[in-house]
Amino acid sequence: MPENLRAFVAALPKVELHVHLVGSASVETVTRLARRHPSAGVPTDTEELRRFFTFRDFDHFLTAFWAVQSMIRSSADVHDLVAGLARDLATQNCRYAEVTVTPYNHLLDGLPGDALLEGLATGRATALAEHGVELAWCFDIPGEKGTKAGRETLTFALRERPEGLVGFGLGGPEIGVGRAQFAPLFTAAREAGLHSVPHAGETSGPATVWSAVHDLGAERIGHGTSSGTDPRLLAHLAEHGIALEVCPTSNVRTGQVESVEAHPVRRMLDHGVLVTLNTDDPPMFGATLNGEYLAVASALGLRTAELAELARNAVRVSFLQDTRKQALLAEIDGVACDT
């Protein structure tokens, strides 16, 4: 990898649109939580923890994810997660992130709603004050837990409406979890001013993406990997400006694609789809935002101008205020002009 390309990517101001709060926990953060909560059974030794994060398949990944989830038991734990994420984002020159939080799972695990909200608020303040990273929240439904979880997630989101809440999503396993059953909830969320950002097409076919678009009014699609197999879907996404939150390393690590080279991101770009690059669950997958840009650049032979355009895509389809978007786009232009 040419050093000038590494330097360009490092200097490029970035936005992260698809990162899960629990999945963002670094080895350092997980170790601290594991020592604080030894009953969770998560390794406290660094090497053991790395083996713990070596996944055989998507189900194995979920097992590790839930183990980390079980250690979030207080506002301090939430704060540590948020502050740790911001610290890691700052090292990638990421200025803004929309972070996926799944309140239902935390509440189900016994974390009081007030503690969750306090941890998010204090962590968000720390992120900006100490790391210069602005954070926003997307509250998502754990789809495998059904419409009850959906209703409670929506009620919590609209009742509490924490500062920084911008999106409403749907995550978890896709097989057997139809998108259409959640349509009334997404309609209500959109009517209340929240943006629709469901996962779709990560572990299932393009029909799931179509459903997310038609039934849930998706403005962005989490992953959308299988969209690459349906030219008509790609044309629709491009025509309507529905962006894909692409997470190449995540898709490789969970076995959805064989390699970054085999990822359909090239096909998506060729069809004019608004592609953004993201990390999903970065420490668990050994991913960084800089690394995603470099991996795609290497796999596709992208030039610096094309990488800058990917960074612009993320800014444009984010839910930042227009003034902040324009400022970030100007910064990206400045870096691109210097090369």
Active site residues: 202
End-to-end CA distance of the chain: 16
Strands 275-277 and 199-200: unpaired
Both tokens of 4, joined, read 């000038």
Q: Report the alpha-carbon distance of residue 98 to residue 289 in Å, rounded.
A: 14
Give the three-state DSSP class for 200: strand
What's 281's DSSP letter? S
Q: Is the dihedral of CA 82, 87, 91, 94 positive or negative?
A: positive
Q: Report the alpha-carbon distance of residue 117 to residue 137 in Å, rounded.
A: 11
146-160 helix and 183-191 helix, angle to the nearest 10 degrees = 10
